[in-house]
Amino acid sequence: MQHNSRWHILETSEQVATAACRQILDAAEQAITEHGSYKLVLAGGSTPEKVYRLLAQADADWANWHIYYGDERCLPVDNADRNSLMATLAFLEKVAIPESQIFTIPAELGPEQAARLYQQIVAEAVPFDMVLLGMGEDGHTASLFPGHQHKEDELAHAVYNSPKPPPERVSISAKALSNTHQLIFLITGANKQEAVKNWRSGLDLPVAAILPENPVDIYIDRDAYKP
Length reported for the chain: 227
Among positions 44, 111, 139, 212, the unique one binding ligand 6PG when judged by CB under 6 A:
44
Integer-rounded Cα radius of gyration of the chain:
16
Q: Kindly write out the interface string for residues 53-72 of this chain, putting x where it contacts ligand 6PG by CB under 6 A and - elsewhere.
A: ------------------x-
Helix (H, G, I), strand (E, B) or coil at 195: helix
**Binding of ligand 6PG at residue 179 (CB under 6 A)?**
no
* Cα distance between residue 28 and residue 31, in whole Å: 5
Q: Of 59-67, 136-144, 176-184, 216-224, which part binds ligand 6PG (CB under 6 A)?
A: 136-144
Alpha helices in the chain (DSSP H): 13-35, 49-56, 83-90, 111-125, 174-177, 193-200
On whether the CB atoms of residues 129 and 181 are closer than 8 A, the answer is yes
> Binding-site residue total for ligand 6PG (CB under 6 A)?
16
Binding-site string for ligand 6PG from residue 138 to residue 167, where x marks contact by CB under 6 A and - marks none: --xxxx--------------------x---
| Calpha distance 176→187 (Å, rounded) | 21
Sole binder of ligand 6PG in the list 10, 13, 27, 45 (CB under 6 A): 45
Applying CB under 6 A, the residues found at the interface with ligand 6PG are: 43-47, 71, 73, 83, 134-136, 140-143, 164
